[in-house]
Amino acid sequence: MPTTIPSSGKLLISSAQISSRIKAMGQQISADLAGSRETVLLMVADGALIFSADLGRTISIPLYMDQIAVSSYEGTESSGKIRLRTKPRLNLSGKNILLVDDILDTGQTISYLISYLKQFKPDKIYICVMLDKPSGRKVPIIADYVGFEVPDKFVIGYGMDYDGLYRNLPDIYCLD
């Protein structure tokens, strides 16, 4: 049976819009980081899995890829308690980290990860997110690369889930 979209779901960003935006982001990142330190694309699992795979393939500089996993969400509410589930495996010392997440909302996850990653002495940490919900911010985090700004609504698809489902939808929907 194909995945059905919840009845309250409204199309927000199509897969065609996503792929053209990612291509531009990849070109920008490649131009900005060309000739600098070695770069590690550090995907924040599980939400950024699909975005990272697509973004990584548009980046033309040498790129290491690794992952880190955290959990904080229950249903559509952030629990605020962030738990590290998987540590990075690569040596990050002296490297550029391109930290890739699906969505920047309160900023708590990214801020937690920045503090956590500093112990590995990277040269620089760049923040890259598919979606930015600026109105949800509780911690002042500004991403270096943003796919799209979105309103303060719960979104699913393109890696983002509701209780574990809908990550595989190619388009992004919001739930009312």
Sites of contact with ligand IMP (CB under 6 A): 44, 47, 73, 78, 101-109, 154-155, 160
Q: What minimum distance in Å lies between the beta carbon of 85 and Mg ion?
A: 11
Q: What minimum distance in Å lies between the beta carbon of 23 and ligand IMP?
A: 23
- 105 carries an active-site annotation: yes
Closest CA to 98 of 39, 142, 55, 57: 39
| Maximum Cα–Cα distance across the chain | 48
Catalytic annotation, pick one of 54, 101, 105, 132: 105
Q: Which residues lie across from 67 on neighbouring strands? A: 43
Q: Which two tokens stand for residue 77?
A: 């509410």
Cβ proximity of 22 and 30 under 8 Å? no
Q: Each residue of 1-24: b (16+ CB within 10 Å) or e?
A: eeeebeeebeebbeeeebeeebee
Residue 107's binding partner out of Mg ion, ligand IMP, none, with CB under 5 to 8 Å set by partner kind:
ligand IMP
Cβ proximity to ligand IMP, 30 vs 106, nearer residue: 106
Q: Does 107 interact with Mg ion (rule: CB under 5 A)?
A: no
Q: How many residues bind Mg ion (CB under 5 A)?
A: 1
Q: Does 47 interact with Mg ion (rule: CB under 5 A)?
A: yes
Residue numbers at the binding site for Mg ion (CB under 5 A)? 47
